[in-house]
């Protein structure tokens, strides 16, 4: 047996100790997978040492072809060069002591190249003993002690130096430091091995976790001589470069598992408190502080209570948490990292007290898979069901229980997500604070306005609230920011209209447009997409609306709605002049700004519009919505040019008594277009333009009345006036002077007519 360190230095509990994680790079990239060794046993038949199958006979022979022999030799040489060794199994047995952990490590190693070095453990672990056994055959269990091979420290690792090729059983006894001064765990770097197992004994009742672990088993044994209890953990783990073992003190079992409520009030010690007296010598007591962030959300008929509990470990570690929750709160969920399970038990007052046995609280016990040593956040969601939408409620406290809790403080915020009024009726152990004093982590959880905010230094608080639900009022869910009504009248009497709306909408499904005459729908566009219109039983056109998406400076974004239609009956203008009357339909959504543009034939003179219910303006103060242009529409929608657009026109008849809202066609020639998406249509905007503007239009029909006269009638009137003037002057004016005056009047008339012609050209 070889040993570089014959014995470890003895130490007592009062000595200062060194803590580390025993981590290093063992560099095992050239190790052979042990599963290949079993299938390629024939390779070792050609070793310098005979195979065990030939031990009983010296006359054994094998016949192979030259090709097979060459392949076997090449494969053997390849393994020797690339994979100098393979670790088939590793077994670790450890015992926890007061200041360190003693480990016995056993490795089963196959060596293919005697010049290799096998790193096994980090050099930070103290080697106390080593024992090496050897067998020249890879299938035989080594029994012969090998004094030629040895262990040595090199490059930060304890390495095995084999003397020859073959199979080795290497047994090492090492001492490992704890990970921290809490002395509840250790870890170390391990070589890659096919089969791995570790067994740990801790001389007290603990819960042990091995990471990584594939099959963990744990039992508690009692020494018959001293009645001391120990915990033994055995676990298999996959091939890994580092293994970590930790444990936490095991608490006594509570009697809460019984079906009947158990008196476990705040006056009784918790499980952690009871076990504190059983901590062994040298162990660190558990101490923690708690910070609570409580959010009370008042809705319609229900109050949601969210508690975020942050544990900060001052010393020791915790794997179990106990929280007392008021009986008025119905627990919905308990969330946190690495939770093994959580259970809630009813809590009743002590049987010795004079109070009745009515359950007043619930105990929530949360168990983790592994202990925590720094911070841990637990989230508990509960609710209170109200007796209707208005009620008086009392919100009880949510508090932690345990002797390990040295301080517990927190904040409480009350918010509203419904149309309710919340008033404080009473409070205990709560101090009112301003909203600016609420921690940002709690403010981020709020979704509604903060109504009340408190802080507390004593977790046994209580608050009474009076919740009143008020009657909801109807509000505007859709509005038209601006609208542009365009009407074009051709010289032949065809009247086209285009309505462009800029809409904000949150709930309304349709925009309803009541057209007071017979019409033909040419196009309906919503948010640059063609849509199918509908007709209700009253003859109102219904265009489906989108919902406004996104926000712009806190306001929903707008989208455009376009409707293009044609009057069935033509509008003929008289050569003798008269009054032109144009009406626009009623829209069921309020319009903030309405712009109207009329494009009329340029061979007429248009005058007074004072009889209209909308004001004529010389120019628009803002640019009205234009809608989707025809060229852009073809590109965006992939639609062909509208040479045959009238084939897709839907004919509507206001007096149609069908009333089912499905047949949109006014004649049999176009029945096949009902229900189809229309094309994008633009109307011409040429001729004499008249501009009108109106603020705030509420479901009102727009009526425009305009006087008109033909240009020839205006000229004849001017000539008649001049002729009458000349006849009046001829009675008292000399002939020569009268001729000169007539010539001047003629030139004035020609100038007026030419000026009128130029003005009309400029206007048009």
pLDDT at 733 over 50: yes
CA end-to-end distance (rounded Å), the chain: 116
Asked which of 221-235, 319-333, 362-376 is least confident by mean pLDDT, the reply is 221-235
> Does residue 518 share a domain with residue 403?
no
pLDDT tens-place string over residues 495-519: 999 999 999 998 899 999 999 888 8
Taking 50 as the threshold, does the pLDDT of residue 5 lie above it? no
Looking at the fold, whether 360 and 438 belong to one and the same domain comes out as yes
Q: What does the alpha-carbon distance between residue 259 and residue 250 come to, in Å, rounded to a whole number?
A: 23
494 and 434 share one domain = no
Structure tokens at 702: 């727009």
In this structure, how many other beta carbons lie within 10 angstroms of the beta carbon of residue 352? 6
Q: Looking at residue 512, what is its pLDDT?
A: 94
Determine the Cα angle at 319 with ends 315 and 320, to 5°. 110
* Residue with the larger pLDDT of the pair 486 and 644: 486
Q: What is the CA radius of gyration of the chain?
A: 48
State the chain's mean pLDDT as an integer.
Answer: 78
Cβ(253)–Cβ(205) below 8 Å: no
Tokens standing for 497?
């209209």
Residue 73 has what DSSP assignment?
H
**Cα 316 from Cα 372, distance rounded (Å):** 9
pLDDT of residue 104: 93
Q: Are residues 582 and 703 in the same domain?
A: yes
Q: What is the mean pLDDT of residues 414-436?
A: 92
Q: Is 113 helix (H, G, I), strand (E, B) or coil?
A: coil
Among 302-306, 583-587, 620-624, the minimum mean pLDDT is found in 620-624
| pLDDT for residue 268 is more than 70 | no
Q: At what angle do helices 711-730 and 735-763 cross, to 10 degrees?
A: 160
Q: Could you tell me the CATH number of the domain that includes residue 214? A: 2.60.40
| Secondary structure (DSSP) of 334-383 | EE-TTEEEEEEEEE---TTSSS-----EEEEEEEEEEEESSEEEEEEEEE
Q: Residue 78 — pLDDT band, cuts 50, 70, 90?
A: low
∠ CA 416-418-424, nearest 5°, is 40
Q: Does residue 57 belong to any structural domain of this protein? A: no
Output DSSP code: residue 398.
E
Q: How many helices (DSSP H) and strands (DSSP E) are in the chain?
A: 7, 46
> Rounded CA gap, 737 and 291, in Å?
113
Which of 410, 418, 364 lies closest to 388 in space, CA to CA? 418
422 within 8 A of 449, measured Cβ to Cβ: no
In a domain, 11, yes or no: no
Tally of CB atoms within 10 A around 289: 16
- What is d(CA 720, CA 443) in angstroms, rounded to the nearest whole number? 85
CA–CA separation, 480 and 504 (whole Å) = 6
Contact 326, 397 (CB under 8 A): yes
More confident residue, 663 or 174: 174
575 found inside a domain:
yes
Q: Show Cβ contacts of residue 546 under 8 Å, excluding neighbours closer than 6 positions.
A: 505, 526, 527, 559
* Residue 20 covered by a domain: no
Q: Largest Cα–Cα distance of the chain, in whole Å?
A: 167
The pLDDT value given to residue 471: 83
Are 566 and 577 in the same domain?
yes
Q: Which residue has the higher pLDDT, 297 or 678?
A: 297
pLDDT at 571: 84
The single residue listed with the structure tokens 């032109």 is 580
Residue 428 shares a structural domain with residue 287: yes
Residue 15 inside a domain? The answer is no
pLDDT of residue 265: 43
Q: Where a domain ends, among 693, 710, 727? A: 710
Q: Is residue 157 in a domain?
A: yes
| Positions of E strands within 123-194 | 126-135, 144-145, 150-154, 157-161, 166-176, 185-189
**Residue 624, token pair as written in the block:** 């009205």
Provide the β-strand partners of residue 221. 230
Tokens 């050209």 -> residue? 761
Residue 43: what pLDDT? 38
Say how far apart CA 521 and CA 539 lie, in whole Å.
Answer: 13
Task: Judge whether residue 277 has pLDDT over 80.
Answer: no
**Tokens at 721, concatenated:** 């006036």
Residue 619 to residues 600, 684, 685: CA-CA distances in angstroms?
A: 17, 20, 16
Distance CA 192, CA 25 (A): 11
Rounded Cα gap, residues 562 and 497, in angstroms: 11
Q: Which DSSP category does 44 fall into?
A: G
Reported pTM: 0.47
Q: ∠ CA 527-533-534 to the nearest 5 degrees?
A: 145
Calculate mean pLDDT across residues 637-655.
40
DSSP class of residue 262?
A: B
Distance of CA 699 to the CA centre of its chain: 42
- In the sheet that 510-514 helps form, which strands lie side by side, from edge to edge? 534-535, 541-544, 510-514, 586-587
Q: What is the pLDDT of residue 707?
A: 84
Mean pLDDT calculated for residue range 608-630 = 80
Instruction: Identify whether 156 is part of a domain.
Output: yes
Of 157-161, 204-208, 425-429, 593-597, the poorest mean pLDDT is in 204-208
Report which listed range, 135-144, 220-229, 324-333, 623-632, is most confident. 324-333
Residues 415-440 have a mean pLDDT of: 92
Q: Which of 245-254, 485-494, 585-594, 669-678 has the lowest mean pLDDT?
A: 669-678
Decide if pLDDT at 542 tops 90. yes
E strand intervals along 17-156: 85-96, 101-111, 118-122, 126-135, 144-145, 150-154
Confidence band of 454 (pLDDT split at 50, 70, 90): very high
In this prediction, residue 36 carries a pLDDT of 40
Q: Residue for token digits 């626009």?
A: 584
- Full domain range(s) for residue 547: 478-710
C-alpha 722/C-alpha 720 separation (Å) is: 5
The residue out of 668, 686, 710 marking a domain boundary is 710
Task: Give yes or no: residues 698 and 715 share one domain.
Answer: no
Which DSSP string corresponds to 76-96? HHHHHHH--EEEEEEEEEEEE
pLDDT-derived band of residue 281, with 50, 70 and 90 as boundaries? very low
Does 3 map to a domain?
Answer: no
Give φ, ψ of 293 to 5 degrees. Answer: -130, 105
What average pLDDT does the segment 450-471 reach?
92
Whether residue 212 has a cis bond before it, omega within 30° of 0 = yes
**Together in a domain, 189 and 292:** no
* The two three-digit tokens of residue 17, written as one number: 């100790």
DSSP conformational letter for 31: B
Q: Same domain for 224 and 334?
A: no
Name which residue leads in pLDDT, 4 or 376.
376
What is the rounded average pLDDT of the residues 245-261? 56
Cα–Cα dist 162/134, whole Å:
9
Q: Count CA atoms closer than 13 A to 6's CA, side-chain side.
A: 0
The verdict on 335 and 352 lying in the same domain is yes
Assess whether pLDDT exceeds 90 at residue 255: no
The most confident of the ranges 73-82, 308-317, 701-710 is 308-317
Residue 438 confidence (pLDDT) above 80: yes
Q: Do 345 and 442 belong together in one domain? A: yes
Whether residue 220 is predicted with pLDDT greater than 80 in this model: the reply is no
List all residues 6 or more positions away from 410 whose beta carbon is below 8 Å from its beta carbon.
290, 291, 292, 293, 294, 455, 456, 459
pLDDT tens by residue, 15-34 = 455 677 777 766 654 555 44
pLDDT reading at 159 higher than 80: yes
* The pLDDT value given to residue 470: 84
Contact (Cβ atoms closer than 8 angstroms) between residue 609 and residue 704: yes
Residue 631 has pLDDT above 50, yes or no: no
Please state the domain count of the chain.
Answer: 4
Residue 350 has a pLDDT of 56
Cα dist. 412→325, 571, 762 in Å?
A: 15, 72, 73
- Which of the given ranges, 1-5, 133-137, 303-307, has the highest pLDDT on average? 303-307
Same domain, 620 and 643: yes
Last residue of a domain, one of 443, 469, 495: 469
CA 371 to chain CA mean position, Å: 30
Range among 549-558, 565-574, 735-744 with highest mean pLDDT value: 565-574
């Amino acid at each position: 047996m070889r040993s570089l360190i014959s014995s470890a230095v003895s130490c007592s509990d009062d000595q200062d100790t060194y803590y580390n994680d025993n981590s290093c790079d063992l560099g095992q990239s050239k190790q052979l997978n042990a599963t290949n060794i079993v299938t390629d046993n024939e390779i070792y038949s050609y070793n310098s040492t005979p195979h065990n199958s030939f031990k009983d006979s010296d006359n054994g022979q094998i016949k192979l072809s030259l090709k097979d022999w060459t392949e076997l030799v090449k494969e053997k040489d390849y393994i020797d060069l690339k994979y100098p060794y393979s670790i088939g199994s590793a077994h670790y047995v450890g015992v926890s002591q007061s200041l360190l952990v003693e480990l016995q490590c056993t490795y089963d190693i196959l060596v293919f190249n005697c010049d290799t070095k096998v790193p096994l453990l980090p050099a930070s672990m103290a080697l106390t003993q080593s024992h090496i056994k050897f067998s020249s055959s890879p299938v035989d269990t080594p029994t012969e002690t090998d004094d030629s091979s040895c262990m040595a420290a090199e490059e930060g690792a304890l390495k095995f130096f084999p003397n020859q090729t073959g199979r080795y059983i290497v047994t090492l006894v090492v001492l490992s430091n704890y990970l921290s001064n809490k002395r509840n765990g250790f870890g170390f770097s391990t070589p890659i091995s096919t089969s791995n197992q570790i067994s740990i004994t801790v001389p007290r009742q603990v819960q042990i976790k091995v990471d990584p672990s594939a099959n963990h088993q744990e039992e508690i044994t009692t020494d018959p001589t001293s009645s001391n209890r120990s915990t033994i953990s055995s676990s298999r783990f996959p091939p890994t470069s580092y293994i970590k073992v930790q444990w936490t003190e095991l608490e006594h079992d509570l009697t809460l598992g019984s079906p009947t409520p158990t008196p476990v009030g705040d006056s009784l010690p918790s499980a952690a408190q009871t076990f504190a007296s059983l901590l062994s010598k040298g162990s660190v007591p558990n101490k923690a502080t708690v910070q609570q962030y409580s959010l009370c959300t008042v809705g319609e008929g229900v109050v949601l209570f969210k508690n975020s509990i942050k544990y900060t470990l001052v010393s020791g570690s915790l794997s179990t948490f106990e929280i007392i929750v008021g009986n008025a709160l119905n627990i919905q969920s308990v969330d946190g990292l690495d939770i093994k399970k959580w259970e809630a038990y009813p809590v009743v007052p002590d049987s010795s007290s004079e109070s009745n046995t009515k359950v007043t609280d619930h105990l929530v016990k949360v168990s983790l898979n592994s202990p925590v040593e720094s911070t841990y956040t637990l989230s508990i969601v509960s609710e209170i069901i109200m007796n209707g939408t208005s009620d008086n409620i009392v919100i009880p406290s949510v508090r932690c229980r345990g002797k390990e809790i040295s301080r517990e403080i927190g904040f409480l915020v009350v918010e509203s997500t419904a149309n309710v009024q919340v008033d404080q009726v009473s409070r205990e152990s709560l101090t009112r604070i301003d909203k600016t004093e609420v921690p940002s982590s709690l403010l981020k959880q709020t979704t509604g306005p903060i109504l009340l905010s408190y802080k507390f230094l004593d977790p046994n608080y209580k608050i009474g609230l009076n919740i009143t639900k008020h009657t909801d009022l109807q509000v505007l869910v859709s509005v038209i920011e601006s609208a542009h009504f365009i009407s074009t009248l051709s010289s032949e009497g065809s009247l086209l209209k285009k309505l462009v709306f800029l809409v904000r909408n949150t709930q309304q499904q349709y925009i309803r447009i009541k057209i007071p005459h017979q019409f033909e729908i040419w196009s309906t566009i919503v948010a640059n997409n063609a849509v199918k219109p509908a007709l209700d039983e009253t003859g109102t056109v219904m265009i489906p609306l989108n919902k406004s998406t996104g926000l712009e400076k806190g306001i929903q974004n707008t989208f455009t709605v376009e409707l293009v239609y044609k009057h069935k009956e033509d509008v003929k203008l008289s050569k003798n002049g008269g009054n032109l009357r144009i009406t626009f339909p009623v829209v069921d959504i309020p319009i903030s700004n309405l712009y109207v543009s009329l494009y009329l034939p340029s061979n007429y003179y248009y005058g007074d519009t004072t009889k209209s219910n909308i004001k004529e303006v010389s120019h628009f103060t803002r640019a009205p919505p234009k809608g989707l242009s025809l060229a852009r529409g073809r590109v965006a929608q992939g639609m062909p040019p509208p040479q045959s657009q009238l084939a897709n026109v839907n004919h509507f008849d206001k007096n149609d008594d069908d009333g089912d809202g499905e047949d949109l066609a006014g004649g049999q020639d176009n029945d096949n277009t009902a229900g189809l998406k229309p094309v994008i249509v633009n109307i011409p905007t040429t001729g004499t333009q008249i501009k009108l503007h109106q603020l705030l239009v509420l479901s009102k029909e727009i009526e425009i009345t305009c006087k008109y006269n033909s240009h020839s009638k205006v000229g004849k009137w001017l000539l008649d006036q001049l002729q009458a003037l000349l006849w009046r002057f001829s009675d008292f004016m000399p002939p020569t002077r009268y001729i000169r005056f007539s010539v001047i009047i003629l030139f004035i008339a020609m100038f007026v007519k030419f000026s009128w012609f130029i003005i009309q050209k400029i206007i048009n």
